[in-house]
Amino acid sequence: MNAQTTDFDVPFYQPVGTECALFETAHTNGLPLLLKGPTGCGKTRFVEHMAARTGRKLYTVACHDDLSAADLIGRYLLRGGETEWVDGPLTRAVREGAICYLDEVVEARKDVTVVLHPLTDNRRTLMVDRTGEELLAPPGFMLVASYNPGYQNVLKRMKPSTRQRFLSATFDFPDAAIEVTVVARESGLDEARVTPLIRLAGHIRALSGMDLEEGVSTRLLIYAAQLIASGMGVDQALQAAIVEPLTDETDVQTALRDLIAVVYG
The confidence band for 154, taking pLDDT boundaries of 50, 70 and 90, is very low
pLDDT at 214: 79
Residues 155 and 189 in one domain: no
Identify whether the C-beta of residue 99 lies closer than 8 Å to the C-beta of residue 51: yes
For the question of whether the overall pTM of this predicted structure is more than 0.75, the answer is yes
Q: Based on the fold, state whether residues 182 and 151 are members of the same structural domain.
A: no
Spatial CA neighbour of 106 closest among 48, 57, 166, 47? 166
Overall average pLDDT of the 225-233 stretch: 97
Residues with Cβ within 8 Å of 210's Cβ and at least 6 positions away in sequence, in order, are 252, 255
- 223 exposed, middle or buried (CB, 10 Å; 0-12, 13-18, 19+)? buried
Instruction: Evaluate if residue 138 carries a pLDDT over 50.
Output: yes
> Hey, which of 131-135, 154-158, 214-218 has the most confident mean pLDDT?
131-135
What's the gap between Cα 256 and its chain centre?
Answer: 26
When pLDDT is averaged across residues 248-263 and rounded to a whole number, the result is 94
Does residue 234 share a domain with residue 125? no
Q: How far apart are CA 158 and CA 106, in angstroms?
A: 6
Vertex 45: Cα angle to 219 and 204 (nearest 5):
25
Asked which of 170, 194, 222 is the last residue of a domain, the reply is 170
Pair 92, 142 in one domain: yes
User: What is the total residue count of the chain?
Assistant: 265
Residues 234 and 257 in one domain: yes
Based on the domain organization, do 34 and 157 belong to the same domain?
Answer: yes
Number of domains in the chain: 2
What's the chain's average pLDDT? 91
Do 207 and 92 reside in the same domain of the chain?
no
Instruction: Judge contact between 99 and 58, C-beta under 8 A.
Output: yes
Same domain, 23 and 139: yes
Q: How confident is the model at residue 161 (pLDDT cuts 50, 70, 90)?
A: confident
Q: What percent of the chain has pLDDT over 90?
A: 78
Q: Which domain holds residue 152?
A: 2-170
Residues 209 and 142 in one domain: no
pLDDT attached to residue 153: 53
Is 143 in the same domain as 191?
Answer: no
pLDDT at 97: 97
How crowded is the C-beta side of 204, counted as CA atoms within 13 Å? 33
- Residue 48, pLDDT > 50, answer yes
Question: Poorest-confidence range of 4-18, 104-118, 123-137?
Answer: 4-18
Least confidently predicted of 15-19, 74-78, 103-107, 155-159: 155-159
What one-character-per-residue DSSP string does 171-220 give? --PPPHHHHHHHHHHHH---HHHHHHHHHHHHHHHH--SSS-SSPPPHHH
Q: Give the strand pairing for 33-36 and 99-103.
A: unpaired
Q: Check whether 6 has a pLDDT greater than 90.
A: no
Q: How far apart are the first and last CA of the chain?
A: 45
Position 81 scores a pLDDT of 81
Residue type, 40: G
- Pick the residue with more confidence: 244 or 110? 244
Q: Are residues 97 and 158 in the same domain?
A: yes
166 and 147 within one domain: yes
